[in-house]
Every structure is written in C-alpha cells, then in structure tokens.
C-alpha cells in the first residue's frame, strides 16, 4: 500500500476521518497509514484540530473522484508494463534469431587436421594443386585463405557450430583444390613461403618454397576448366 502516492491518501483523509468513505477507500487508507508516518501525522493533526461534535461538510463525490484517479493511474501503469513486456519480448526474439544464425548459419568453427589427409600435391603455372580428404563424417562449408606476415599461407576449413553430416556430393571434404600462388602474392603484396592446411596452432604442410613437385595431371586441370 505504500506504493499509493501520499497526495492521493491526503485527498481521502478527510473522508476517512469523518467515516464517510467507502470500504474500499478505508482499506486503502489504513494500509497506507500502517506504513507512512507522514500521513499518520497528518491524520493526527486533523483529529486534534476538530472537536468531536463538529462535522465538516464533505463532498461525498470526492471519494469517487479519488478512486477514479487511482484506477486511472493503475491503467497507465498496466499500459507501461505492457509496452515494457513487448520490448523485452522483441529483444528476446532478436537474441533467438542471432543464436540460431550463430549455431546453424555462420561458418565459424575451424576444422582440425587430425582427420585431414593431403595428397596428390602438384604444380603448374604458379598454382599449387592438392587433394583434400577430411574423413570425420561432417560437412565442410567453405575454405578460408589467410596469409600471415611471416609468409605462411593457411587454407582453413570452416563449418557451422552445429555440424552437418557429410553427404554426396561432397563440398570440400573430399575434393581437389588449388592455391594460385602468383595471384595471392599479387593480391596480398607479399611473398608466400609455404602453404599449410589448418591454423597456426594446428597445421599440415601442403607446399614449401623450393619443394620439387610433379606437374599437375590434365584430368585435374579439366576439373577447374584449365588446359
């Protein structure tokens, strides 16, 4: 009851004092008085200033007006609570959408090298070809390229947080790939010293500058529309 403003109770005190307020108003006032010393003092002063035999002329309609004011304040409070609830609901919905995208849409998890096999490494015209086979049973969404300042070039396989089973046709789990060294050096403005599969903390060597590699087979070149 302490939540009812003192100004509202002050309007009801004359009615309460003269015992002409409704039962609902009486309950409201008494509940407030039990917790509010200022309003209790106000009532005591009112009682001290009025002889027992005197009766103050009271507008009985003021009781109704005060109660209507309380009802209006309550409705406004409910409306504010409604919009706050709508805002919280909207924020929760946004969080759920972002969580769904993070788990099922974003390719953020790097694939380790434990189940990765690099084979058939070859070269032609500044391009390094290799066959990648990641045999852990899960789909690879994409390959990310990253050239570091020390000249190491990383081919990192990425997949979603919630892994998908690998099915035919394979995307990158079991396929031929290549890195155009000349093109990457031109784009990055830096010489590539070595190419690795994985990350700096977990990697397998694909090629290193000076390595003697066979020429890429024609059948592999044709997969990429090369001759």
Query: Could you read off the pLDDT of 40-91 as tens digits, one per residue?
Result: 888 888 888 754 344 444 455 555 666 666 666 666 667 777 788 788 888 8
Maximum Cα interatomic distance, the chain, rounded to a whole number of Å = 119
Q: Structural domain of residue 123, as residue ranges?
A: 109-223
Summarize the confidence of residues 154-179 as an average pLDDT. 86
User: Is the residue at 179 inside a domain?
Assistant: yes
Query: Does the pLDDT of residue 16 top 90, yes or no?
Result: no
Domain boundary (81, 104, 127) is at 104
* Domain identity same for 63 and 30: yes
Domain boundary (86, 104, 122) is at 104
Tokens of 180: 């155009």
* Domain identity same for 100 and 115: no
Strand partners, 177: 130
Characterize 197-211 residue by residue with b for buried, 16 or more Cβ atoms within 10 angstroms of its Cβ, and e for exposed: bbbeeebeebbeeee
Tell me: cis bond preceding 12? Omega within 30 of 0 counts.
Answer: no
Residue 140, classified by CB atoms within 10 Å of its CB into exposed (0-12), middle (13-18) or buried (19+), is: buried
Residue 158, classified by CB atoms within 10 Å of its CB into exposed (0-12), middle (13-18) or buried (19+), is: middle
Q: What's the structural domain count of the chain? A: 2
Question: Taking a C-beta distance cutoff of 8 angstroms, is the pair 179, 125 a contact?
Answer: no
* Domain identity same for 73 and 124: no
Check residue 54 and give its pLDDT: 45
User: Is the residue at 57 inside a domain?
Assistant: yes
* Domain identity same for 61 and 145: no
Query: Does the pLDDT of residue 153 top 80, yes or no?
Result: yes
Characterize 104-125 residue by residue with b for buried, 16 or more Cβ atoms within 10 angstroms of its Cβ, and e for exposed: eeeeeebbebeebebeebbbbe
Tell me, rounded to whole angstroms, the distance of Cα 114 from its chain centroid. Answer: 32
C-alpha to C-alpha distance for 26 and 19, rounded to whole angstroms: 9
* Domain identity same for 70 and 120: no
User: Is the residue at 1 inside a domain?
Assistant: no
Domain boundary (76, 104, 132) is at 104
* Domain identity same for 128 and 173: yes
pLDDT category, 150, cuts 50, 70, 90?
very high
**pLDDT single digits (tens) 180-221:** 999 999 998 999 999 999 999 999 999 999 999 999 999 999
Long-range contacts of 58-66 (CB under 8 A, 24+ apart): 58/14, 58/15, 58/18, 58/20, 60/15, 60/20, 62/11, 62/14, 62/15, 63/12, 63/15, 63/20, 63/21, 63/22, 63/25, 66/8, 66/11, 66/12, 66/25
């Amino acid at each position: 009851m302490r939540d009812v403003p003192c100004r509202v109770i002050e309007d009801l005190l004359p009615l309460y004092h003269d015992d002409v307020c409704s039962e609902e108003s009486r309950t409201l006032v008494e509940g407030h008085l039990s917790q509010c010393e200022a309003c209790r003092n106000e009532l005591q002063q009112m009682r001290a200033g009025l002889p027992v035999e005197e009766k103050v002329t009271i507008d009985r309609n003021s009781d109704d007006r005060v109660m209507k004011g309380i009802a209006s304040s309550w409705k406004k409070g409910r409306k504010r609570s409604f919009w706050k609830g709508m805002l919280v609901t909207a924020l929760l919905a946004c969080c759920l959408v972002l969580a769904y995208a993070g788990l099922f849409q974003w390719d953020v998890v790097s694939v380790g090298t434990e189940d990765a096999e690099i084979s058939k490494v070859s070269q032609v015209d500044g391009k390094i070809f290799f066959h990648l086979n990641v045999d852990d049973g899960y789909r690879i969404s994409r390959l990310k390229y990253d050239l570091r300042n020390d000249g190491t070039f990383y081919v990192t396989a990425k997949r979603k947080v919630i892994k998908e089973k690998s099915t035919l046709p394979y995307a990158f789990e079991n396929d031929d790939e290549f890195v155009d060294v000349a093109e990457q050096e031109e784009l990055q403005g830096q010489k590539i010293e070595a190419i690795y599969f994985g990350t700096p903390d977990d990697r397998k060597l694909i090629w290193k500058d000076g390595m003697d590699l066979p020429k890429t087979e024609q059948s592999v070149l044709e997969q990429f529309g090369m001759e």
